[in-house]
Amino acid sequence: MKTRAAVSYEEGHPLVIETLDLDEPKTNEVCVKMSAVGLCHSDYHALAGNRPVGMRPMVLGHEGAGIVTKVGHGVTDIRPGDHVVLMFIPSCGKCRWCLAGDTHACALGPSIAKGPQPDGSFRMHKQNGQNVGQFCLLGAFSELTVVHQQSVCVIGKNYPFEAACLVGCGVVGGFGAAVNRAHVRPGSSVLVIGIGGIGSNIIQGAASVNASMIVAADQFDQKLEWSRSFGATHTINIEKENLLEKVMEITDGVGVDFAFEAISHPETIGLAFEAAAKMGKVVVVGLTPSHFETLPISPLKLVLTQKTLMGSIYGTSNARIEIPKLLSMYEHGQIKLDELVTRTYSLDEINQGYEDLLAGKNIRGIVKFD
Ligand SMILES: [Zn+2]
Ligand SMILES: [Zn+2]
């Protein structure tokens, strides 16, 4: 098969749109015709080299939804015509974490940035035969992709793909961090630093369990304005105001019960720690560039204030349960998805999409396929 895809050749260089050869799905694999794919910051980190990828050329893209066109031998629960959301961490179903229901911690997780499929072989190739990797085992910035069935979640056919694709990363990641990882409680106070695809969904998660105070912090006024529509009760522009002073003022000097960091920088993780109340929870959701190795957190304060510092990946969620649940909440008006999409791009406009992301113009930009 042939497919047009956005390929990363060199760190920090724009993606190249070109036609690749795509293998037929092998045993336990499915071919998916992509409909919509979100422009998540994680793809940008891979593109820019902030976080190492195992190889290039590599097709990026991991927040996607589309329609199954073909299935390989051994695929019994997924059929051509099924609508699916891609999962950026697969669920092998066999490792100790999957068996315990913690599929977000699947043993295959470390393989997702390497390039080949888990069996070491490739499905995408240049016309000259050179192998091309698939970021997160998916390579979703492609008209067609072939992935293992353990990387897809079948969804109902009644959801628009633009909304559904976001649930594959940003929505699960943010909502789950609030609800499944931190267990935000009714009446509690919450701080969210960084209002992008993840941060806006942390706010939605906290609002869904009736947190009474949700403070959104970002450097862009436009994002702060959007945050109110997702449930933020207070906003702080971290470039114009002192975050800690403002949080203490709003909380009568106590700090927040739950402080989330979704910017991916040690400095703001340190601020989240300081902004949390005694016994509060500090949840790091942003994936920091790999050259940062330490956090500016006082070990003495950690003990004296008895705060809990935790990370959350993929919303600490079992994606096959969480994705349909979140789509059902969307259907019933309990979370907003359409409002997260600020602009759509064609595959050929994908580099513009990343420029807009860096300029803070989007909550989520989306690549829409014909
Ligand atoms: Zn993502
Ligand atoms: Zn597993």
Domain(s) of CATH 3.90.180.10: residues in the chain: 2-168+316-368
**Ligand in closest contact with the CA of 90:** 2
Give the CATH fold of the 183-311 domain.
Answer: Rossmann fold (3.40.50)
Q: Compute, in angstroms, the gap from residue 32 CA to the centroid of ligand 1.
A: 19
Q: Is 169 a catalytic residue?
A: yes
Domain(s) of CATH 3.40.50.720: residues in the chain: 183-311
| pTM for the structure as a whole | 0.95
Q: Compute, in angstroms, the gap from residue 104 CA to the centroid of ligand 2.
A: 8
- Alpha-carbon span 57 to 9, nearest angstrom: 5
Q: Is 62 a catalytic residue?
A: yes
Strand order in the sheet with 276-284: 234-237, 213-218, 189-193, 256-261, 276-284, 308-311
The pLDDT tens digits of the residues spanning 31-46 come to 999 999 999 988 988 8
Q: Compute, in angstroms, the gap from residue 98 CA to the centroid of ligand 2.
A: 4
Q: Compute, in angstroms, the gap from residue 248 CA to the centroid of ligand 1.
A: 32
The residue type found at 44 is Y
Q: Compute, in angstroms, the gap from residue 300 CA to the centroid of ligand 1.
A: 34
Pull the structure tokens for residue 251: 């909380």
Name the band, by pLDDT with cuts 50, 70 and 90, for residue 66.
very high
DSSP 8-state class, residue 323: H
Task: List residues bridging with 124 in a β-sheet.
Answer: 22, 132
Domain 2-168+316-368, CATH 3.50.50.60 — does that match? no
Q: Is 42 a catalytic residue?
A: yes
Half-sphere exposure of 43 (CA within 13 A, CB side): 38
What is the structure's pLDDT at 20?
A: 98
**Ligand in closest contact with the CA of 201:** 1
Query: Would the pLDDT of 316 be above 90?
Result: yes
Radius of gyration of the chain (CA): 20
Q: Is 106 a catalytic residue?
A: no
